[in-house]
Amino acid sequence: MLLQRFLIRLLTMAITLFGVAVVVFVVIRVAPGDPIAMMLPPGATDADIARLRALYGLDKTIVQQFFIWLSGVVRGDFGTSISLRQDVLGLVFNRLPATLELAIVALLMAVAIGGTAAILGARERGTAVEAGIDIASGTALSIPDFLWGLVLILLFGVLVPVFDISGRVSPQLDLPFVTQFYLFESVLRLRFDLTWDLLKHMLMPAVALALPLAAIIAQLLKQSLKEVLDLDYVVLARVKGFSETQVILREALKNAALPTLTLVGVQFTFLIGGTVIVERLFSYEGLGNMAIDAVINRDLPLIQGIVLVFALLFVLINLTVDMMYALLNPRLRHG
């Protein structure tokens, strides 16, 4: 049952990724403007242009180009970036860790803020505290990450300059890292001075990304908690003499968390999508920032590679959430 569900999901995942590859390939190829012409110095001859076109495979038909590219992708060869003249996969893997760290820090913050607000709101249900949480989460949800980023830049970059609003790490620092997972590695190496510097850079973009998701978690989890709190077994726990906070944390939370979990999965992909513009806003050297440069430079192989990696990330997250849901939901587990 579970295995069957998993295999079906794997198949639809492959179809989705193939679809993404087709769409991005077609969209890029209908682009007016010749990427080769941008690479060559003025005065290049037609023969030079033809030679380069052949080198990048641009002299073949769209269908031929697609299958040449796809067969490369399957073997792990995403081609060579036109603007940076490096292997696309290498470039992507160089930047992906920065984006993943930012997204995960933002997710953890969203869960912490949203979860706390939900538990507090459920405990204080029907009071001014709950009303305040409703208004705060409604506002946080209505304002997108791009605008939150700008608000944070003004507040904590200009008005009270306590956090860095540009880059991933202070440029003067000597970095001993061998991987691109700077934050993770700084903790492993016990270099907490570097951890602090990285966090100071990461905090503002992460909060901008986290706020809308925190609001969704606060609203949905609070709703589920309030429903569960009226059920018999929770009333029983209360009769046994547990405090309201204990009742929520020990009894209600694990049964109320399931709908939130599913939603967080979908919303996490939106959060990752948001890194594209938030990284740009904070000059954070991640995948999204590189993607915007790639589009502006019409770097076709790089755009294709980045979009496909984002799509892969999205479908993997959805698959993980779906499997977790199936494992945690007793009705599906024993079904």
Partner 1 sequence: MDEARMIRRGLGPRLWLAGGWLLLALLAAIFAPLVAPQDPLAQDLMLERLPPFWMSGAEPGYWLGTDSLGRDLLSRLIFGGRIAFVVAFAAAFAACLVGSTLGLIAGYFGGWADRIISRIVDIWMAFPPVLFAILLVAVLGTGLSSVIIAIAVIDWTRFCRVIRAETMGQSRMDYVENARIAGYGRIGIMLREVLPNVVPSIVALLSLEMGIAVIVEAILSFVNLSISTDDPTWGGIIAEGRLSIHQAWWVLVFPLITLILTVLSFSQFGEALRARFDPVLR
Q: Given the rule CB under 8 A, which residues bind partner 1?
A: 12, 15-17, 19-20, 23-24, 27-28, 30-32, 139, 142-144, 146-147, 150-151, 153-154, 157-158, 269, 272-277, 280-281, 288, 291-292, 295-296, 298, 303, 306-307, 310-311, 314-315
CA 62 to chain centroid: 31
Q: What's the closest the beta carbon of residue 329 comes to partner 1, in angstroms? A: 20
Closest to partner 1 by CB, 66 or 146 = 146
**The two three-digit tokens of residue 77, written as one number:** 């060869």
Q: What's the closest the beta carbon of residue 80 comes to partner 1, in angstroms? A: 20
Measuring CA to CA, how many Å separate 317 from each of 205, 206, 261?
21, 19, 12
Measuring CA to CA, how many Å separate 187 from each of 96, 200, 247, 285?
19, 15, 35, 20
Residue 34 and residue 21: Cα distance in Å, rounded?
21
In 3D space, the residue among 209, 181, 180 whose CA is nearest the CA of residue 279 turns out to be 209
Closest to partner 1 by CB, 183 or 315 = 315
Q: Is residue 227 classed exposed, middle or buried when 0-12, 13-18 and 19+ CB atoms within 10 A define those classes?
A: middle
Q: What's the closest the beta carbon of residue 197 comes to partner 1, in angstroms? A: 21
Closest to partner 1 by CB, 115 or 305 = 305
**The two three-digit tokens of residue 68, written as one number:** 């040449």
Closest to partner 1 by CB, 95 or 280 = 280
H or E element that contains 284: none
Q: What's the closest the beta carbon of residue 226 comes to partner 1, in angstroms? A: 17
Q: Is residue 132 classed exposed, middle or buried when 0-12, 13-18 and 19+ CB atoms within 10 A define those classes?
A: middle
Closest to partner 1 by CB, 185 or 279 = 279
Residue 79 and residue 58: Cα distance in Å, rounded?
12
Q: What's the closest the beta carbon of residue 300 comes to partner 1, in angstroms? A: 11
Q: What's the closest the beta carbon of residue 212 comes to partner 1, in angstroms? A: 12
Closest to partner 1 by CB, 23 or 235 = 23
Closest to partner 1 by CB, 57 or 157 = 157
Q: What's the closest the beta carbon of residue 311 comes to partner 1, in angstroms? A: 4
Question: Is 284:168 a contact under the CB 8 Å cutoff?
Answer: yes
Phi then psi for residue 15, to 5 deg, are -65, -45
Residue carrying structure tokens 């907490």: 192
For 94-124, give one letter per residue: b (16+ CB within 10 A) or e.
ebbbbbbbbbbbbbebbbebbbebbbbbbbe
Closest to partner 1 by CB, 84 or 155 = 155
Q: What's the closest the beta carbon of residue 22 comes to partner 1, in angstroms? A: 8
